Amino acid sequence: MASPTETERCIESLIAVFQKYAGKDGNASTLSKREFLTFMNTELAAFTKNQRDPGVIDRMMKKLDLNSDGQLDFQEFLNLIGGLATACHDSFLKKARP
């Protein structure tokens, strides 16, 4: 059996990170608001520490929670990751331009 590709390892990593934080408040397939805050403060600490507005995490959760159930499922979580990856990619492109 072939070793996983870099992309496959990245996907496995995203799943593992989601599972690491999901379920502590009961539902293993979603992140509660508290779990999301723990995830943000641990995995994206540089982002959260640079926020001057203490309500930004609450607003992010509400914006990501497309079905308004107060939880983030894996698809909603991936919307966050995709948005952050896009912002980082755009930033790299801007820095690369002379």
Dump pLDDT digits (tens) for 33-81: 999 999 999 999 988 888 788 788 899 999 999 999 999 999 999 999 9
Residues in the chain: 98
Nearest to 77 by CA among 25, 4, 5, 13: 13
Residue 23 has pLDDT above 80, yes or no: yes
Q: At what angle do helices 74-96 and 6-21 cross, to 10 degrees?
A: 130
pLDDT band at residue 98 under the 50/70/90 scheme: low
Q: Would you give the end-to-end CA distance of the chain in angstroms? A: 44
* Spatial separation of the C-alpha atoms in residues 74 and 67, rounded to whole Å: 12
> Is residue 70 within 8 Å of 62, Cβ to Cβ?
no
What's the whole-number average pLDDT of the chain? 92
Give the torsion sign (CA, 44, 18, 16, 7). Answer: negative
* Spatial separation of the C-alpha atoms in residues 63 and 61, rounded to whole Å: 5
